[in-house]
Amino acid sequence: MNATMDENLKTTISNICREYGNDRTRLMDVALSVQERYGCVSDDAMDVIASALRTHRVEVASLVSFYSFIKDKPNGRIVIRLCNSIIDRMQGMGHVAEVFQRELGIRMGGHTADGKIGLEWTSCIGMPDQAPAALVDDVVCTRLSTDTAKQIVEDLRQHMDPKRLVKKLGDGNNAHDLVQAMVENNIRLGGPAILAPMKAGEALTNALGMSPAEVIRNVKNARLRGRGGAGFPAGMKWEFTRAGASGRRFIVCNADEGEPGTFKDRVILTEYPDNVFEGMTIGGYAIGAAEGILYLRGEYSYLRAFLESVLAARRSRGLLGKSVCGKTGFDFDIRIQMGAGAYICGEETALLSSCEGERGDPKTRPPFPAQKGYLACPTAVNNVETYCCAARILERGAAWFAGLGSERSAGTKLLSISGDLRRPGVYEVPLGIKLQDVLKLAGAEDAIAVQIGGAAGQMVGPADFSRLICFDDLATGGSIMVFGPGRDLLEAVDAFMEFFVHESCGYCTPCRAGNVLLRQGLQKIRHGKGEPLDLVYLKELGETIKIASRCGLGQTAANPVLTSLEKFRSVYEGRVTPAPDGLQPEFDLAVAVAEASKIAGRKSVHLTE
Amino acid sequence: MSEKITFILDGNTIEGEPGQTILKAADAAGRYIPRLCSHKDLVPHGSCRVCTVLVNGRPQAACTQPAAEGIVVESGSPKVQKLRTSIIEMLFVEGNHFCMFCEKSGNCELQALAYRFGITAPRYPYQFPYRDVDASHPDIFLDRNRCVLCGRCVRASRDVDGKNVFQFVGRGRDKRIAVDARAGLSETNAAVTDKAIEVCPVGAILRKRVGYAVPVGKRQYDHEAIGTEIEKAAPAR
Query: pLDDT of B150-200, one tens digit each?
Result: 999 999 999 999 999 999 999 999 999 999 999 999 999 999 999 999 999
The answer to whether residue A82 is domain-embedded is yes
Assign 3-class secondary structure to A233-257.
Answer: EHHHHHHHHHCCCCCCCEEEEEECC
Q: Phi/psi of residue A88, each to 5°?
A: -60, -40
CATH of B86-207 among 3.40.710.10, 3.30.1540.10, 1.10.3470.10, 3.30.70.20: 3.30.70.20
The phi, psi pair for B200, rounded to 5°, reads: -55, 125
pLDDT for the residue A588: 74
All residues at 6 or more sequence positions from A401 whose CB lies less than 8 Å from its CB, including other chains:
A193, A222, A223, A224, A389, A392, A393, A410, A411
Whole-angstrom distance, CA of residue B148 vs CA of residue B37: 9
**Rounded to whole angstroms, how far apart are CA atoms A90 and A93?**
7
pLDDT at A1 over 60: no
Residue A550 lies in a domain: no
So what's the pLDDT on residue A582?
A: 72
Calculate mean pLDDT across residues A394-423.
96
pLDDT value at B18 more than 80: yes
- Give the domain extent around A22: 3-64
Position A517 in a domain: no
| Rounded Cα–Cα distance for residues A556 and A543 (Å) | 10
Is the pLDDT reported for residue A4 higher than 70?
Answer: no
Binary contact (A61, B178; C-beta < 8 A) = yes
| Min Cα separation A503/chain B (Å) | 7
Give the separation between CA A284 and CA A208, rounded to whole angstroms. 11
Contact B176, A71 (CB under 8 A): no
- Within-domain flag for A516: no
Q: Could you report the per-residue pLDDT of A8-42, keeping only the tens digit for each?
A: 999 999 999 999 999 999 999 999 999 999 999 99
Locate the domains of chain B by residue range: 5-76, 86-207
Residue A259 · residue A456 · CB < 8 Å: yes
- The number of folded domains in chain A is 4
CB atoms within 10 A of CB A217: 16
Instruction: Give yes or no for a contact between A448 and A483, defined as CB atoms under 8 angstroms apart.
Output: yes
> Using CA atoms, how far apart are residues A368 and B202, in angstroms rounded to an integer?
32
Q: What is the pLDDT of residues B87-115, one digit of tens each?
A: 999 999 999 999 998 999 999 999 999 99
Query: Is there a single domain that holds both residue A374 and residue A248?
Result: yes
Instruction: Return the pLDDT at A2.
Output: 54
Cβ proximity of A567 and A448 under 8 Å: no
- The answer to whether A326 and A318 have CB atoms below 8 angstroms apart is yes
pLDDT tens, A213-241?
Answer: 999 999 999 999 999 888 999 999 999 99
Would you say A274 and A311 are in contact if contact means Cβ atoms under 8 Å apart?
no
Whether A409 and A470 have beta carbons less than 8 Å apart is answered as yes
Fold category of B5-76 in CATH: Ubiquitin-like (UB roll) (3.10.20)
pLDDT(A609) > 80: no
**Residue B130 — left, alpha, or beta (φ > 0 → left; ψ -120 to 50 → alpha)?**
beta
Q: Are residue A242 and residue A333 in the same domain, yes or no? A: yes
The pLDDT of residue A229 is: 81
Q: Which residues contact A463 (CB under 8 A, 6 or more apart)?
A: A567
Any domain includes A446: yes
Cβ–Cβ contacts within 10 Å for residue A121, how many? Answer: 16
Quick one: pLDDT at residue B3? 84
Mean pLDDT of A244-272: 97
Share of chain A above pLDDT 90, in %: 92
Cα–Cα distance measured from residue A264 to residue A192, given in angstroms and rounded to the nearest whole number: 15
Average pLDDT, integer, range A348-367:
97
Same domain membership, residue A419 and residue A393: no
Among candidates A43, A56, A65 on the partner chain, residue whose Cβ is nearest the Cβ of B169? A65
Quote the CA–CA distance of A351 and A361 in Å, as a whole number.
8
What is the rounded average pLDDT of the residues A466-494? 95
- A586 in contact with B, Cβ within 8 Å: yes
pLDDT band of A584, cuts 50, 70, 90 = low
What pLDDT score does A590 carry? Answer: 82
A139 pLDDT tier (thresholds 50, 70, 90)? very high
The alpha-helical segments, DSSP class H, found in A405-558 are: 435-442, 489-503, 509, 515-526, 533-548, 552-557
Instruction: Please give the Cα distance from A577 to A194 (Å, whole number).
Output: 50
Q: B232 CA to chain A: closest CA distance, Å?
A: 29
d(CA A108, CA A97): 8
What is the layout of strands, in order, in the sheet containing A117-122?
A117-122, A78-83, A134-136, A139-141
Q: Strand pairing partners for A80? A: A119, A136
Distance CA A226, CA A123 (A): 24
Q: Evaluate whether residue A489 is within a structural domain.
A: no
CA distances to A102, A281, A347, A383, A560 from A555, in Å: 40, 32, 12, 20, 12
The confidence band for B2, taking pLDDT boundaries of 50, 70 and 90, is low
**Which pLDDT band holds residue A585 (cuts at 50, 70, 90)?**
low
Asked if A255 and A328 sit in the same domain, the reply is yes
pTM for this prediction: 0.96
Same structural domain, A422 and A470: yes
- pLDDT tens digits for A272-322? 999 999 999 999 999 999 999 999 999 999 999 999 999 999 999 999 999
Chain B residues with beta carbon closer than 8 angstroms to that of A59: 164, 167
Reduced 3-state DSSP string for A516-530: HHHHHHHHHHHCCCC
A548 contacts B125? CB cut-off 8 A: no
> If you average pLDDT over residues A332-353, what whole number do you get?
97
In this prediction, residue B212 carries a pLDDT of 86
pLDDT digits (tens, 9 = 90+) for A416-447: 999 999 999 999 999 999 999 999 999 999 99
- The yes-or-no verdict on residue A587 having pLDDT over 80 is no
Rounded to two decimals, the ipTM of the complex is 0.97
In A, residues 335-354, which contact B (CB 8 Å cutoff)? 342, 344
Mean pLDDT, chain A, whole residue set: 95
A544/B83 Cβ within 8 A:
yes
pLDDT at A580: 78
Task: Tell me if the bond preceding A578 is cis, omega within 30° of 0.
Answer: no
pLDDT at residue B42 greater than cutoff 60:
yes
Domain boundary among A434, A456, A483: A483
Per-residue DSSP letter, A290: S
Same domain for A341 and A373: yes
- Pairing assessment for the beta strands A479-483 and A468-469 based on DSSP bridges: unpaired
Find the CATH number of the domain harbouring A335.
3.40.50.11540
Cis status, amide bond into B78, omega within 30 of 0: no
- Return the C-alpha torsion angle A51, A53, A55, A59, nearest 10: -110
The dihedral built from the CA positions of residue A141, A146, A148 and A151, taken in this order, carries a sign that is positive
pLDDT, chain B, mean? 95
Kindly determine whether residue B91 and residue A516, on different chains, have CB atoms separated by under 8 Å: no
Q: Which of A10, A112, A27 is nearest to A62 (CA)?
A: A27
Q: Which of B52, B58, B171, B187 is the mutation pick for testing A, counting most A CBs within 10 A?
A: B171
Query: Average pLDDT of B52-56?
Result: 98
Q: What CATH number does the domain containing A456 carry?
A: 3.10.20.600
Q: Is residue A545 part of a domain?
A: no
Average pLDDT over residues A329-357: 97
Q: Is residue A119 part of a domain?
A: yes
Q: Domain end: A452, A483, A514, which one?
A: A483
Cβ-defined contact of B49 to A509 (cutoff 8 Å): yes
A363 interface with B at CB cutoff 8 Å: no
Please check whether residue A595 touches B, CB under 8 A: no
Least reliable range by pLDDT among A83-92, A472-481, A559-568, B135-144: A472-481
The whole-number pLDDT of residue A593 equals: 87
A244 & A348 share domain: yes
3-class state of residue B21 by DSSP: strand
For residues A268 and A136, membership in a common domain is answered with no
Domain termination residue (choose one: A402, A431, A459):
A402
Domain shared by A349 and A392, yes or no? yes
What is the rounded end-to-end Cα distance, in angstroms, of chain A? Answer: 53
- H helix and E strand count, chain A: 26, 16
**CA–CA separation, A383 and A413 (whole Å):** 12
Q: Is residue A132 domain-shared with residue A270, that is, in the same domain?
A: no
Chain B contact probe: residue of A54, A56, A343, A527 with most B CBs at under 10 A = A56
Chain B residues touching A517 at Cβ < 8 A: 90, 93, 124-125
Q: Which of B50, B66, B172 sits opposite A506 (nearest CB)?
A: B172
- The C-alpha atoms of residue B191 and residue B161 are separated, in whole angstroms, by 10
**A397 plus A417 within the same structural domain:** no
Residue B86 confidence class, pLDDT cut points 50, 70, 90:
very high
Phi-psi region of A242 (alpha: psi -120 to 50; beta: other; left: phi over 0): alpha
Q: How confident is the model at residue A589 (pLDDT cuts 50, 70, 90)?
A: confident
Is A549 in CB contact (< 8 Å) with chain B? yes
Best CA proximity match to A482, nearest among A425, A409, A405 = A425
Query: Among A183-192, A260-269, A470-479, B177-186, which stretch is predicted with the lowest mean pLDDT?
Result: A470-479
Share of chain A above pLDDT 70, in %: 98
Report angle CA B135, A66, A555 to the nearest 5 degrees. Answer: 110
Closest CB to B173 among A344, A506, A541: A506
Q: Do A509 and B127 touch (CB under 8 A)?
A: no
**What is the rounded average pLDDT of the residues B206-234?**
92
CA gap A157, A201 in Å, rounded: 47
Q: Grade residue A605 by pLDDT with cuts at 50, 70 and 90.
A: confident
Q: Are residues A243 and A340 in the same domain?
A: yes
